[in-house]
């Protein structure tokens, strides 16, 4: 588990990605959520001071959600993606 500091606007971007992916039919006709996705969204609903604790798998799921933008990202989205990728790299180094 790794602590990541996210602004409210970064959390909002992630929630938009999640909504686009979950309700956009990633598992057939849409509105199907795997348990990990629900856990992540619950964590974002309970964030205090921008600090959220995520596992490596949860970060990977969020990065998968980011693909709902089809590679066209705003600066804010790019910042979130870079922050998440940096976290994965740190996590990978930690577990080597």
Per-residue tens of pLDDT for the chain, all 96 residues: 889 999 999 999 999 999 888 876 555 555 667 889 999 999 999 998 999 999 999 999 999 999 887 778 889 999 999 999 999 988 888 544
Q: Please, are residues 37 and 22 in contact by the beta-carbon 8 Å criterion?
A: yes
pTM of the model: 0.84
Q: How is the chain split into domains, by residue range?
A: 2-94
Q: b/e string for 56-95 if b means 16 or more Cβ within 10 A?
A: bebbebbbebbeeeeeeeeeebebbbeebeebeeebeeee
């Amino acid at each position: 588990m790794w602590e990541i500091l996210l602004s409210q606007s970064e959390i909002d971007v992630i929630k938009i990605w999640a909504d686009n992916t979950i309700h956009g039919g990633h598992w057939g006709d849409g509105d199907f959520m795997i348990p990990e996705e629900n856990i992540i969204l619950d964590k974002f609903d309970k964030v205090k001071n921008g600090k959220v604790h995520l596992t490596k798998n949860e970060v990977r799921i969020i990065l998968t959600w980011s693909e709902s933008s089809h590679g066209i990202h705003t600066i804010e989205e790019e910042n979130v993606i870079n922050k998440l990728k940096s976290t994965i790299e740190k996590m990978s180094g930690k577990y080597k």
